[in-house]
Amino acid sequence: MQVFKFGGASVKDAKGVRNVATVLETTGPKQKVVIISAMGKTTNKLETIISLYFSKSKDFSVAISELKNDHYEILDELFEDRSYPVYTRTNYFFDEMSIFFDRNKSPNYDYVYDQVVGFGELISTSIVSYYLKSVGLDNVWHDCRNLIDTDDTYRDAEVNWGNTQQKILNYINKEELSITQGFIGSDSNNFTTTLGREGSDYTAGIFAYCLNAENVTIWKDVPGVLNGDPNVFENTKLLEQISYEEAIELAFFGASVIHPKTLQPLQQKEIPLFVKSFYNPKNTGTKVGKGKLINPLLPCFIVKKDLVFLSLSTLDFSFFVEENISEVFALFHKHQVKVDLIQNSAISFSVCVDNKFKNVDKLIDIFRAKFKVDHQKGVSLFTIRHYDDAAIKHIVKDKTVLLKQSYKETIQFVTV
């Protein structure tokens, strides 16, 4: 059997939903688990709704109504009239969201986030499932919260692999076409959890591992894995084949095509991963698998924007030693701040960090009790794998470089 994953861009409108049906008809609809993300920018809109909820904004209810209307526009294009049960299902999920907001007493943003954003996936998969049935593609819709078992680290939950595998094997019929959500699971109290932003790829890896799938295909709006994001870098080229190790390196440094956690379960069972265009399903795309190949061997460009550059130094000019570093990393872990680059000298320690959970300001105040702290927000971290002089010149041109770090195959620049 195979595992397919369709991201938000592939189901952003009615045309995209129809195209999912076309891809399944082209590749054969049976013996597949299909993982589907929220439609278009739904997750971003749900994040805005959560912010409006916490700020008690008068625009809160309006934002929910607008999001519901967005989905109704897609539904009305796909179905002849509103008697189809998919409308009832969609209303049910929006009602559940409103009930949660009305009854919630928790001030924990991460908990609230996870209870709300998952509705995007639940609604999108319901729409796709009902549409596929309407065009003759029989399928079974599964609530992924009944399948993926996690701890209660909201917004970045850890998978309980033993429980998850047992549930997936119990619920999924390998001969059928199964439709389910990316990104979400549930904890031991049956509260919704999420696997991290863009975690739908990881969901595909989890299902493939648990079901011993033949392969995984991630369907994108690009022809495969390119040597750079075409929205950022010019003249990008297709990488036809990549080893697991190389793909993990690219994902670790921030390549957006494959989620960093996706490849680990696939590598353990040597399950190939394909990245293909949902516009051209017959094209070969990129294969990620066993071996040491990146073919063709080209410089690969990655950029992570809107990071924070922190430089810590001791107040008394004493050495910045293991004890200091251990304390700093313990605080990073506690406040869910991801470190993307590290460099230290005798009396200072510099890091480039991701502020996705908005905890860096709080952390800076804590650091100032013990260290001298310099920081700069809005920096970019450029990474070049398999770099050459031309690639370096292309990246640093017209930029101020705050920090440079190079290894055998990789060079990185923090720039403003």
* pLDDT value of position 357: 85
Residue ranges for the chain with pLDDT beneath 70: 257
Secondary structure string (H, E, C) spanning 62-79: HHHHHHHHHHHHHHHHHC
* pLDDT value of position 255: 82
Using one digit for the tens of pLDDT, what is the confidence trace for 72-130? 999 999 999 999 999 999 999 999 999 999 999 999 999 999 999 999 999 999 999 99
Q: At what angle do helices 14-27 and 109-134 cross, to 10 degrees?
A: 60
Please give the model's pTM, rounded to 2 decimal places: 0.86
* pLDDT value of position 259: 76
Q: Which residue has the tokens 């869910």?
A: 336
Across 337-373, b (16+ Cβ under 10 Å) vs e yields beebbeebeebebbbbbbebeebbeebbeebeeebeb
What CATH fold (topology level) applies to the domain 300-415? Answer: VC0802-like (3.30.2130)
Q: Is the separation of the CB atoms in 8 and 40 below 8 Å?
A: yes
d(CA 388, CA 139): 49
* pLDDT value of position 215: 98
Quote the CATH superfamily of domain 2-213: Acetylglutamate kinase-like (3.40.1160.10)
Among residues 338, 170, 322, the alpha carbon closest in space to that of 254 is found at: 338
Among residues 5, 413, 410, 412, the alpha carbon closest in space to that of 204 is found at: 5
Domain residues of the chain, as ranges?
A: 2-213, 300-415
Among residues 75, 113, 73, 74, the alpha carbon closest in space to that of 97 is found at: 113
Among residues 195, 200, 53, 12, the alpha carbon closest in space to that of 114 is found at: 195
